[in-house]
Amino acid sequence: MEATSITEETYHGIPRNKIPWGPTIDYDKCISCGKCVDYCKLGVYEIEEREGKKISVVKNPNNCVVFCTGCEEQCPVGAITHPSKTETREIIRKLRKAQQTGE
């Protein structure tokens, strides 16, 4: 059996890429420690080199598990945020409703 699938293609029948859930890095706070990259095993983050500096970037936001916020606690400076769970639930609810009515 596969240990983990890298990306969930659908979430309760909704195409994952329609659900706006993923982390955002506040670069005013980020100190490029790389902890988020090490912590999340789903390939959401990557290290990129920009102007000779290594920085952590959100490379694959759709790999982020819907409603997971685990990496927020790992960031030593509180630079990571996710969307509102309440608003995301509402978006999913509407998407499911549209799907059920055949839109």
Establish if 66 lies at the interface with ligand SF4 (CB under 6 A).
no
Segment near ligand SF4 (CB under 6 A); pick from 3-11, 12-20, 34-42, 87-95 = 34-42
Q: What share of the chain is helix, strand, coil (3-state, %, to 5)?
A: 30, 20, 50
Question: In whole angstroms, how close is the CB of 69 to ligand SF4 at the nearest point?
Answer: 5
Q: Which is nearer to ligand SF4, 34 or 97 (CB)?
A: 34
| Among 19, 40, 92, 95, contact with ligand SF4 (rule: CB under 6 A) | 40
Establish if 83 lies at the interface with ligand SF4 (CB under 6 A).
no
Binding site for ligand SF4 (CB under 6 A): 23, 25, 30-36, 39-40, 42, 44, 56, 64-65, 68-71, 74-75, 77, 79-80
